[in-house]
Amino acid sequence: MGRPDCALASCYASPLVTFLLGMSFASIAYYIASPHFNFPHPIDLAPTRAMLVLASVVVFVMIFSIVSLAIRKLRMERWFAITLLIFYLAYFVYAYLDEFNVFGPH
């Protein structure tokens, strides 16, 4: 048997580290490329509807995963994978429709 606790921790830690490193390198490149290099100046990141839905889905799926895996003692079964795929596909359909303004303007 492997180490399911390490695998589960890796599933959550890897995207977090990737996000933090990606944002830090992108921010450094942005500040270096700015004309006056006046650090720090604010970057305008107004939250959009898609960002709020994405954050909500991510938080819900993480809580769902942690609770269901804790109840099942870290045993992942087929229903769990299918449920996660359904969440992913539902968000993908929403993001695709939102990109083409089916739900109205942003």
Quick check: 88 pLDDT over 80?
Answer: yes
- Give the H/E segment covering residue 44: none
- Average pLDDT value for residue range 91-95: 87
Tens-place pLDDT, residues 28-85: 787 777 776 666 666 677 788 888 888 888 889 888 888 988 898 878 788 988 998 9
> Which residue in the block uniquely carries the two structure tokens 């109205």?
104
pLDDT of residue 13: 80
Tokens encoding 77:
């079964």
Q: Please count the other Cβ atoms lying within 10 Å of the Cβ belonging to residue 95.
A: 13
First vs last C-alpha separation in the chain: 49
Tokens encoding 94:
């929403």
Confidence of residue 102 (pLDDT cuts 50, 70, 90): confident
Name the nearest CA neighbour of 40 among 30, 50, 51, 54. 30
Tens-place pLDDT, residues 1-27: 667 777 777 777 888 888 888 888 887
Quick check: 86 pLDDT over 90?
Answer: yes
- Give the H/E segment covering residue 73: none
One-letter amino acid for residue 45 of the chain: L
